[in-house]
């Protein structure tokens, strides 16, 4: 059987590199992935938070951040965020 | 979902540092900004927290749209409201 990779294995391989996190709401995060747990709570470093509003995109810079997995919708490994897409 | 706190489950990515459990251990006593899903920010000194992301802050400032609207000596935040906890100094 061809080798298969599980979704969270893919994210595990992404530890140490940059990742783009898209939430259920109007927010996105891009940063270096330091780790995550079974709930996909994530620790990110050198983070940019992108807040999509009617007036445009607001950017917030953050240092080491623990992102609650509750609101996470999609992960894009190896991407530096919406500006990189 | 089970009722056990996330830190009991931590270690999915075993052998690495920087997991959520490690972050929680390292961030106690540091100045942090806690953002709720509503967009309200709480800045303060993190006195303690648990695996549910329940948080106790000291010298807390409440920010709405970037402006301070309240100050609290001590504040407790229930974890289900937390979007993220961000360290304002290095861990």
- With beta carbons under 8 A apart, name residues in chain B contacting A13: none
- Kindly list the residues from chain A whose CB atom is less than 8 angstroms away from the CB atom of residue B85: 65-66
Residue A64 lies in a domain: yes
Q: Which domain holds residue A31?
A: 7-77
Answer whether B12 sits within 8 Å of A71, measured CB to CB: no
B5 inside domain: no
DSSP state of A82: T
How far is Cα A18 from Cα A33, in angstroms, rounded to an integer? 6
In a domain, A82, yes or no: no
Range of the domain at B39: 19-87
Determine the Cα–Cα distance for residues B73 and B5; give it in Å rounded to an integer: 27
Q: Is B9 within the bounds of a domain?
A: no
| B24/A67 Cβ within 8 A | no
Average pLDDT over residues B2-29: 66
Name the average pLDDT for chain A.
Answer: 94
Of A15, A27, A68, the CB nearest to B13: A15
At A8, give phi and psi (nearest 5°): -75, -20
The interface pTM score, or ipTM, of the predicted complex is: 0.92
Query: Closest approach of chain B CAs to the CA of A82, in angstroms?
Result: 19
Question: CB of A80 within 8 A of CB of A30?
Answer: yes
DSSP annotation of B32 reads: E
Cβ atoms A22, A68 nearer than 8 A = no
Cα B55 to its chain centre, rounded Å, is 6
> For an interface test with A, which of B20, B21, B36, B41 has the most A Cβ atoms less than 10 Å from its Cβ?
B20
The verdict on residue A37 lying in a domain is yes
Whether residue B24 contacts residue B38, with contact meaning beta carbons closer than 8 Å, is answered with no
What's the maximum distance between 2 C-alpha atoms anywhere in chain B?
43
Summarised one tens digit per residue, pLDDT across range B30-58 is 999 999 999 999 999 999 999 899 999 99
Q: Is B1 part of a structural domain of the chain?
A: no
pLDDT tier for residue A1 given thresholds of 50, 70 and 90:
low
pLDDT tens-digit readout, A67-80: 999 999 999 999 99
Please provide the DSSP assignment of B37-79 as one string: TTS-EEEEEEEEE-TT--EEEEEEEEEETTEEEEEEEEEEE-G
Overall number of domains in chain B: 1
Q: Which CATH number is A37's domain given?
A: 2.30.30.100
Instruction: Please indicate whether, in this complex, the C-beta atoms of B9 and A37 are within 8 angstroms of each other.
Output: yes
Closest residue to A66, CB basis, from B11, B12, B85: B85
What pLDDT digit, counting tens, does each position of A5-46 carry? 999 999 999 999 999 999 999 999 999 999 999 999 999 999
> Residue B79's domain is classified under what CATH number?
2.30.30.100
Residue A84 in any domain: the answer is no
Predicted pLDDT at A3? 86
SS3 label, residue B6: helix
Does residue A1 fall inside a structural domain? no
How many structural domains compose chain A? Answer: 1
């Amino acid at each position: 059987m061809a080798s298969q990779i599980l979704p969270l294995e893919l994210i595990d391989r992404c530890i140490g590199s940059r990742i783009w996190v898209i939430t259920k709401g109007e927010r996105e995060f891009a940063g270096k992935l330091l780790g995550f747990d079974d709930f996909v709570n994530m620790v990110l470093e050198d983070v940019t938070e992108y807040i999509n509003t009617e007036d445009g995109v607001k950017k917030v810079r953050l240092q080491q951040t623990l992102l609650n997995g509750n609101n996470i919708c999609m992960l894009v490994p190896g991407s530096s965020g919406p500006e990189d897409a | 979902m089970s009722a056990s706190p996330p830190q009991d489950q931590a270690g999915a990515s075993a052998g690495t540092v920087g997991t959520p459990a490690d972050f929680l251990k390292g961030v106690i006593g540091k100045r942090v900004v806690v953002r709720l899903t509503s967009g309200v920010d709480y800045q303060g000194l993190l006195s303690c927290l648990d695996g549910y992301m329940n948080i106790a802050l000291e010298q807390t400032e409440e920010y709405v749209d970037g402006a301070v609207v309240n100050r609290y000596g001590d504040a407790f935040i229930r974890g289900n409201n937390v979007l993220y906890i961000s360290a304002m100094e290095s861990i």
